[in-house]
Amino acid sequence: MNKTTDIAALAKDVQAGNRRALARAITLVESGRKDHREDALALLDALGTKKQALRIGLSGTPGVGKSTFIESFGLMLTGMGKRVAVLAVDPSSARSGGSILGDKTRMDHLARDPNAFIRPSPSQTQLGGVARRSREAVALCEAAGFDVVLIETVGVGQSETVVAQMADLFVLLLAPAGGDELQGVKRGIMEMADLILVNKADGDLKAQATRTCADYAGALRLLRKRPQDPDGFPKALTISALKVEGLQTAWAEMETLTDWRRDSGIWNVTRKAQASYWFEQDVRNGLLALLMEDPQTAERMKTAQDDVKSGRKSPTAAAASVLQPLRDLLGTRVS
Ligand code: GDP
């Protein structure tokens, strides 16, 4: 697929909302091949950034009920006439906790819904690469006219930050906790959440879920007030993804928050800040990749790394040993 005409045709099909074309387009942006990369950039360029979907980031540890939630919540939205895309960001591997993120078999009703599109996570190990590809996949889903893009991730390492930086809303899914401990949820993740949904509020777990929810509501009130929130947000609610309870309320809260952010201009400010963030990340990652293509620099990098690990050099001195030859090459001086 190297001819401009093919890219133009693919762009047209994506814009027409053709799911097969969208799947092909995502495969193209996920490819690491140089010629594919050129085509991917041409495609993204042809599609532009006209349409905006509501991008919802969703995080939770394995077993908390993410796929059950996406299935129930997604079907509720398609039932309202909305088109829903589901993407996954999984930096560790395509497999997490025995289940594949975004796997269609975990959401088989939604997968068969003509108004839904589900894309499993690419098997990639490097977070930077995953982030860029996921971001581009989100843009493709927007171009294909989806109203809501759900971006799923497991609660590991930095993946929440990556997802939060490409989402308009960040939803944290939790399970009912025994006792009154806050399940070791890191403060940083709590601070990212716009909505905490305590799942499995049904049957024997209902009372426990209600208590857990109250604990989190209390913890959220203690956090610093954020400029991007109207009164009462971030919020904690109980839901049952399995019994399809509380999902209408959760959606209503998401809409309230979204409307407020749109009206106050915060929506646009956030999207612009995210675009700047990703631009900087791309330049940073790109520069490093570019430098590592040079065998001499790659060798110096390795030596410097060994020197730091063995304590022979300080991080500052080791970094200078890599950077100074490059400065010499560019003819600049250390400032
Ligand atoms: P994921 O790993 O986060 O995607 O979690 P799953 O959606 O695969 O759910 C893990 C387990 O929790 C499954 O056995 C689900 O049936 C169960 N589960 C999910 N949601 C609920 C719920 O609302 N109530 C109850 N009781 N079980 C649930």
* Same domain for 115 and 35: no
Distances (CA, A) of 42 to 3, 139, 242, 278: 10, 13, 42, 18
Residue 55 lies in a domain: yes
* Same domain for 239 and 127: yes
* Same domain for 238 and 131: yes
Domain limits at 195?
Answer: 49-263
Question: What's the 203 CA to ligand 1 centre distance in angstroms?
Answer: 13
Residue 91 lies in a domain: yes
Q: Which residue's alpha carbon is nearest to atom 18 within ligand 1? A: 65
Determine the Cα angle at 156 with ends 154 and 161, to 5°. Answer: 90
Q: Which residue's alpha carbon is nearest to atom 27 within ligand 1? A: 200
Q: Is 49 exposed, middle or buried (CB count within 10 Å of its CB: 0-12, 13-18, 19+)?
A: exposed
Q: Which residue's alpha carbon is nearest to atom 24 within ligand 1? A: 200
Q: Ligand 1: does its nearest atom lie under 6 Å from the Cβ of 74?
A: no
The preferred substitution site among 59, 61, 68 for testing ligand 1, maximizing ligand atoms within 8 Å of CB, is 68
Q: How does pLDDT run along the chain (335 residues), one tens digit per residue?
A: 555 559 999 999 999 999 999 999 999 998 878 889 899 999 999 998 778 899 999 998 888 999 999 999 999 999 999 999 999 887 665 444 444 566 667 788 999 999 999 987 765 555 556 788 889 999 999 999 999 999 998 866 678 888 999 999 999 999 998 655 555 667 778 888 999 999 999 999 999 999 999 999 998 988 878 888 898 999 999 999 999 999 999 999 999 999 999 999 999 999 999 999 999 988 998 898 888 899 999 999 999 999 999 999 999 999 999 999 988 888 875 55
Residue 268 lies in a domain: no
* Same domain for 63 and 84: yes
Domains identified in the chain, total number: 3
Residue 308 lies in a domain: yes
* Same domain for 107 and 90: yes
Start-to-end CA distance of the chain, whole Å, equals 47
Atom of ligand 1 nearest to the CA of 68: 7
CATH code of the domain covering residue 183: 3.40.50.300
* Same domain for 239 and 94: yes
Q: Ligand 1: does its nearest atom lie under 6 Å from the Cβ of 65?
A: yes
